[in-house]
Structure 1
């Protein structure tokens, strides 16, 4: 099996400093934890991504790598022990009459004291008394989260010089009396939700094979139209026909069989219009650099002398950004481009201050929502114009929810702990601020579907300040366009992508993964999707499409948190380089401890903007 492990590492572009030692250790890991060669390499891929390591596997990292494997196995065991499954949008588990019975049972003295009784009063049940809820806020330092260190420490930053200037201004402001600070009106934040699909209450789980076929076929056809409009090719050819001349074909990267791309031959599936949907094998031996994954739509230039294998000499993996990918008339596209340039040259520079955080919003040992409380306290001090919160808010993977210790519905918990706190925050901050909520497929109180409709919330008195967008969603605040996808596309791409000599080296791997989302003009370009993503193709056509490059792209992920500028190279001479700030804020809560969030001050363009990843 050592040879299988070595081959798998080599396929993924890794080499070794001490090959024999590393292979023996990896073999023992595989035997102890019942892992395949593919599993061990995938785990190493995630490990190296989170730590920004080179493509050389070093024996000195094996100890820390073993700890990660042990933690992964421990989490799997805990998940199996729970043995429970949560379904979204279930009916109320406890009716009014049943609630009283549960309450009486809770007050009775038990005959035997369970092991869990040594814990603090249940983090869900302990908060529910009197009517149904009480504040129940624990004393600081009682919980592991309250005893954390390095509070609000900056972990990484973008454009540090701009941050220093902002800190100087804040130091002067913080010296003023808090009442005077609150009286001073904040700069008004304009808000426009641009995503409308799917709508709350939409019909889902009814997608057909036709929906899937049309979705994939339209992606290939739109890409082909973009290449023709940009002058890259005259008309795409059928890649399955033998030819001695160089051809240009457009198609989707796919596997010969189910499984990871790295384990099977790479195929190119062209459109029905150009090849009847036939597939042809791709040969990358002439390419010095490439990066492909299943579902990626690419343009391939090469030769197919036999009709069975297309020998690629060039791969284009992006939609030309100067050309709108829709079927608009060229004159209409030209007018739109001129309007865009006039907007960019206007004297009013778009500015926006925002804080971005992704759930879970409470630690795994209780339902006190301490990280959310700390975040809102920080936001009150910093006074951003916009607060962007991405689920899960009521996490279906939370141990307390899985045990069924709740004596309230998921919707009631959401109303009290999330919307209730946000109402207080907005009331304190005044009418100038806005809050955006983006759901997650792990939200127990929402539909388990992707794309996902927005929360159907209408908070009294604050309907114009607390908003929700679909997942994925796009909105415009102070003329700054922000796009969010609350599915871990970065982690899913990292597991499926194969590459050779990636652009910028392995240290820029995270940036390259994020670029795939923009280059493919899709919030979720991977096909087939990951097993835990309930992708509904009947809803995906409009919802997953990215119409234009956003100013800020938010991609929450379990991978290492970061904030970077994506530089999308000019496709033609004379074009300006398009840039975009991409941020993975991390998770606000990690286990029993705190996680991270992001703070961004956008001013005109990414180069003059600043951003930080901050530990909660």
Structure 2
């Protein structure tokens, strides 16, 4: 039976605060009993309900419970209907052959696994209601049938704005309709000047060997990370000489180490350990007491500086916790210099690059790029149609593209292999978009661990894409990866590190003080100078300890940080450091372009040299 404490813990872990705690918990316990739900399942249903209502605040109110009850009833009804249906769903190919008696080789709409990819019919990439190429998978719909995605009443609705041009952008997006052919030609002519693009080659290369690391490699990567941060604290000159935290001392000392958990569960007041460097100190783990601190935010794998006392040698009591690496660390001496690949055909002078830095426009979208009820990739077609009407300088597409979590992919109900689906449904659509828009636009693709057609390893190499005459316009990035567009530094990571940090994080804040939890989670990456500071990673993450030190390191604070996540979309300006020397970074979670069988969100962003003059919009398709 679910208890109040279990339910409260699950809500807190998901970032929700209970406004009227006692009444809400009492009703939640009743819901768990009536609908045979575990606390985790109840909170998952609440997150879906909260997302559908498009609420901004992360609170649970008593007056919302009636609507939540109706949501649970609808879920229960749908599950019962699905269990009792007992229907076997045939593919379009099977049904058409049985009813019409059409031979397998005579119709282009009924495709098996062709040997010649050019024989397939590719629909208009900007038509959201296109004919299916089936690949033998089950969509549950006849060929050419209008899908729920295509029946949406509103398209391109602005959900959120930041910047001075908010009102103008909102009016433009809400009234966005299909342009005439003449308008499209005008838009094409008026496209902004192409931005410069330099990719920092610090990630693994396509075809690299992975999962060949030893236990020593894992230890060395952790040890070097602790030493690197300890050197940064020492180089700043702001702190005392570092002392072994496991050695008994009556005076106040300063030490640098990694937060660990004493066991396999989550962090709590009794399970926090501090592991110091084996090279500089003893490398032992000592229990850490944070009860004297009014505010902190920690997670396993976090490197921190601690001021405190350890009189007995058995317990280190902290009086101050520093979770930000000093900004004096601008480069990692242990890593080779990053290779920068200039993707411009022409060589730009420094003066030209300086002028171009005034403005860069992006469209940022994260997969999945097709809805769960089919593999028609309608959201991707809609996105490219929008990008054709309002062309950015840089179109950023973040995986997954061929989502391994898609029902048809999981069931193996497709005749084509995953690489063919990726080439036909994604690359050819992107290629036609670039060819139509001309040489002014660029497209950057970043893979995901959920891509069924790519290496299942983190860090992840880029897609091996070679398109003649378009190699300078369609670029693939490693995951995580960094690049510079008009000297604007951009970093991105498609692993849902925000969601994983939200599960493992333990925090304490002064009562009555509002907190920005999503901003705090995102700032952990910048404070730790790592795209993935969590350690140990979840069992589901194929973490390679030999590739990670070079690929995950953030050598300098980027201007824009892209962190696609299942959590709520946002565009936030993060500040790292204090005073005038503080570094600012625009952090973006564009949301998912497709959510279930419906539409999701993407982000339009114009960066004009600094976050203060930036304009960003979160748009729902």
TM bin (shorter chain): 0.7 to 0.9
Q: Give yes or no for contact 2:93–2:110 (8 Å, CA) kept in 1.
A: no
Structure 1 pair 264/4, CA: closer, same or farther in 2 (3 Å)? farther
Q: Aligned partners of 1:206 and 1:503: how far apart in 2?
A: 48
2:266 maps to 1:260: yes
C-alpha deviation, 1:505, in angstroms? 4.9
Q: Is contact 2:166-2:615 (8 Å) kept?
A: yes
Partner Cα separation in structure 1 for residue 82 and residue 249 of structure 2: 54
Give 1:595's aligned residue.
600
SS in 2 for 1:537: coil
Check if 1:157 corresponds to 2:161: yes
| Deviation of 1:307 (Å) | 1.5
Counterpart contact for 2:7–2:40, Cα < 8 Å: no
> Is the Cα contact below 8 Å between 1:222 and 1:325 reproduced in 2?
no
Give a deviation string over 1:43-81, Cα, whole Å, max 9, x none: 8799889845467x543344566678889999999999x
Aligned counterpart for 1:278 among listed residues 273, 278, 284: 284
Quick one: which of 393, 396, 402 aligns to 1:385? 393
Identify the residue that residue 59 of structure 1 maps to in structure 2.
Answer: 62
Residues 407/347 of structure 1: CA separation in 2 closer, same or farther (3 Å cut)? closer
Q: Deviations over 1:67-121 (max 9, x none)?
A: 78889999999999xxxxxxxxxxxxxxxxxxxxx9997775289xxxxxxxxx9
- What residue is the counterpart of 1:312 in the other structure? 318
Structure 2 residue matching 1:415: 3-state secondary structure? helix
Q: 1:10, 1:509 → 2: CA distance? A: 14
**DSSP 3-state at the match of 2:611:** strand
Is 1:21 paired with 2:37?
no
Deviations 1:144-192 (A, max 9, x none): 1111133111100111436638989999xx8984434433463121111
- 1:134 alignment partner in structure 2: 121
Give runs of aligned pairs for residues 564-583 of structure 1, distance below 5 A: 564-570=572-578, 575-583=580-588
Q: Is the alpha carbon distance of 1:231 and 1:509 closer, same or farther for their aligned partners in structure 2, counting shifts above 3 Å?
A: same
Go from structure 1 to structure 2 and tell me whether the alpha carbon gap of 1:127 and 1:365 turns closer, same or farther (over 3 Å shift): farther
Deviation at 1:278, TM superposition (A): 1.1
Equivalence for 2:341: none
Match of 1:457 in 2: 465
Match for residue 245 of structure 1?
Answer: 251
1:298 aligns with 2:304: yes
Greater RCO, CA 8 A, separation 6+: 1
In the alignment, structure 1 residue 613 sits paired with structure 2 residue 614 = no
Name structure 1 gaps, 5 residues minimum: 81-101, 112-120, 329-341
Distance apart, 1:506 and its partner CA? 4.9
Q: Which residue of 2 aligns with 1:433?
A: 441
CA RMSD in angstroms comes to 4.1
TM-score by length of 2: 0.81
* CA 1:395–1:76: 2 relative to 1, 3 Å: farther
1:541 aligns with 2:549: yes
Q: Residue 23 and residue 252 in structure 1: after superposition, are their counterparts in 2 closer, same or farther (change >3 A)?
A: same
User: Mind listing any 5+ residue stretches in structure 2 that lack a counterpart?
Assistant: 84-90, 101-106, 124-129, 132-142, 335-349
What aligned pairs does 1:58-457 form with structure 2 within 5 A after superposition?
58-63=61-66, 108-109=97-98, 133-135=120-122, 137-138=130-131, 142-161=146-165, 164=168, 177-184=183-190, 186-262=192-268, 265-324=271-330, 326-327=332-333, 349-457=357-465
Deviates more, 1:468-477 or 1:59-68: 59-68
Q: Secondary structure at the match of 2:220?
A: helix
* 3-state SS in 2 of match to 1:392: coil
Measure the CA separation in 2 of the matches of 1:11 and 1:185. 47
Q: Distance in 1 between matches of 2:585 and 2:520?
A: 13
- State the distance in 2 between where 1:447 and 1:271 align: 33
The equivalent of 1:96 in structure 2 is none
- Contact 2:108/2:120 (8 A) holds in 1: no
Moved more, 212-221 or 478-487: 212-221
For residues 411 and 309 of structure 1, the distance between their equivalents in structure 2, rounded to whole angstroms, comes to: 55
Contact 1:555 1:582 in 2 (8 A): yes
Q: Aligned with 2:546: secondary structure?
A: helix
Deviation for aligned residue 1:135: 3.0
* Offset from partner CA, 1:440-468 (integer Å, 9 cap, x none): 00101101111100000101221111000
1:560, distance to aligned residue in structure 2 (A) = 0.5
State the distance in 1 between where 2:457 and 2:414 align: 24
SS at match of 1:311: strand
Offset at residue 520 of structure 1 (A): 0.6
1:145 is paired with a residue whose SS is: helix
Contact kept in structure 2, 1:356 and 1:389, CA below 8 Å: yes
Aligned residues: 568
CA distance in 2, matches of 1:293, 1:185: 45
Secondary structure, aligned partner of 2:194: coil
Instruction: Give, in whole Å, the separation in 2 of the partners of 1:601 and 1:504.
Output: 35
- Partner of 1:394, secondary structure, is coil
Q: TM-score, normalised by structure 1?
A: 0.82
Task: Assess, with a 3 A threshold, how the Cα gap between structure 1 residues 372 and 503 changes in structure 2: closer, same or farther.
Answer: farther
Cα separation, partners in 2 of 1:410 and 1:216, compared to 1, 3 Å = same
Distance 2:71 2:231 in 1: 46
1:191-217 CA deviation, whole Å, 9 max, x = no partner?
Answer: 111134211111112222222211111
Q: Is the 8 A contact 2:356 2:486 kept in 1?
A: no
